[in-house]
Structure 1
Amino acid sequence: MHEVVVTGYGMINGVGNNAEEAFNALLAGKTGVDIISHFDASDEKVQIACEVKNFNPDDVMDKKEQKKADRFIHLGLCAVAEAMKRANIGDDDIDRNRFGVCGATGIGGLPNIEKNVISSFQKGAKGVSPFFVPSTITNMLSGFVSIYHDLRGPNLSSTTACTAGLHAITEAAKTIMLGGADAMVAVGAEACICPIGVRGFANMNALSTRNDDPAHASRPFDKDRDGFILGEGAGALILESLESAQKRGAKIYAKLLGFGESADAHHITTPLVNHEGASRAIKAALDMAGNPMIDYINAHGTSTYYNDLYESKMFEGIFEQVPPLSSIKGSTGHTLGAAGAIEAVVSVMALNANMMPPTINFEESSDDMQLDYIPNKARAAQLRTVMSTNYGFGGTNGAVIFGK
Structure 2
Amino acid sequence: MKRRVVVTGQGVVSPLGNDVTTFWDNIQKGASGIRRLESEAYADINTKIAGYIDDFPVEKYLEAKEIKRYDLFTQYGFAAAVQALEQSKVNLKALDKDRAGVYIGSGTGGLQTLLKNHETMLEKGTRRVSPFLIPTMINNMAAGLTAIKTGFRGPSFAAVSACATSNHAIGEAYLNIAHGYSDVILAGGAEATITPLYFAGFSKMRAMSTKNDTPEAASRPFDQDRDGFVMSEGAGVLFLEEYEHAKERGAPMLGEIVGYGSTTDAYHITEPDYQGAAKAMELAIERAEAKPEDVDYINAHGTSTPSGDISETKAIKDVFGDQAHRLKVSSTKSMTGHMFGAAGGAEAIVTLNSVRENTFPPTINLENPDPECDLDYVANKAKEGNINIALSNGFGFGGHNAVLAFKKV
TM-score (norm 2): 0.96
Q: Distance between the aligned counterparts of 1:181 and 1:301, measured in 2?
A: 33
2:282 corresponding residue in structure 1: 283
Residue 126 of structure 1: how far off its partner (Å): 2.4
Q: Deviations over 1:99-149 (max 9, x none)?
A: 111011100111111111121122111231111111110001100110111
2:340 corresponding residue in structure 1: 336
Q: Answer whether contact 1:39 1:195 (CA < 8 A) is retained.
A: no
Q: Distance between the aligned counterparts of 1:175 and 1:142, measured in 2?
A: 16
2:150 corresponding residue in structure 1: 149
Map residues 161-200 of structure 1 onto 2, 5 A cutoff.
Answer: 161-200=162-201
Where do 5+ consecutive residues of structure 2 fail to align? none
Q: Match of 2:304, SS?
A: coil
1:102 corresponding residue in structure 2: 103
Give the 4+ runs in structure 1 shifted more than 3 A: 37-40
Residue 58 of structure 1: how far off its partner (Å): 1.5
Q: Deviations over 1:60-115 (max 9, x none)?
A: 11122122211011111111111111000013442111111101110011111111
1:32 corresponding residue in structure 2: 33
Q: Distance between the aligned counterparts of 1:39 and 1:337, measured in 2?
A: 27
Matched, 1:386 2:390: yes
Residue 205 of structure 1: how far off its partner (Å): 0.7
Q: Distance between the aligned counterparts of 1:59 and 1:37, measured in 2?
A: 27
Q: Answer whether contact 2:220 2:366 (CA < 8 A) is retained.
A: yes
Q: Distance between the aligned counterparts of 2:243 and 2:406, measured in 1?
A: 14
Q: Answer whether contact 1:29 1:331 (CA < 8 A) is retained.
A: yes
Q: Match of 2:15, SS?
A: coil
Residue 6 of structure 1: how far off its partner (Å): 0.8
What is the one-letter code of the residue matched to 2:134?
V
Q: Distance between the aligned counterparts of 2:211 and 2:306, measured in 1?
A: 15
CA RMSD between the two structures: 1.2
Q: Answer whether contact 1:2 1:176 (CA < 8 A) is retained.
A: yes
What is the one-letter code of the residue matched to 2:289?
G
Matched, 1:365 2:365: no
Q: Answer whether contact 1:259 1:401 (CA < 8 A) is retained.
A: yes
Q: Distance between the aligned counterparts of 2:370 and 2:389, measured in 1?
A: 28
Matched, 1:397 2:405: no
Residue 267 of structure 1: how far off its partner (Å): 0.7
Q: Distance between the aligned counterparts of 2:121 and 2:180, measured in 1?
A: 46
Q: Answer whether contact 2:167 2:188 (CA < 8 A) is retained.
A: no
Residue 155 of structure 1: how far off its partner (Å): 1.1
1:326 to 324, 327, 330: 330
Where do 5+ consecutive residues of structure 1 fail to align? none
Residue 37 of structure 1: how far off its partner (Å): 5.0
What is the one-letter code of the residue matched to 1:392?
G
Q: Distance between the aligned counterparts of 1:193 and 1:331, measured in 2?
A: 17
Q: Answer whether contact 1:170 1:259 (CA < 8 A) is retained.
A: yes
Q: Answer whether contact 1:295 1:324 (CA < 8 A) is retained.
A: yes
1:374 to 356, 378, 399: 378
Which shifted more, 148-157 or 98-107?
A: 148-157
Q: Distance between the aligned counterparts of 2:148 and 2:64, measured in 1?
A: 17
Q: Match of 1:158, SS?
A: coil
TM-score (norm 1): 0.97
Map residues 3-402 of structure 1 onto 2, 5 A cutoff.
Answer: 3-36=4-37, 40-272=41-273, 275-292=274-291, 293-319=294-320, 320-322=322-324, 323-402=327-406
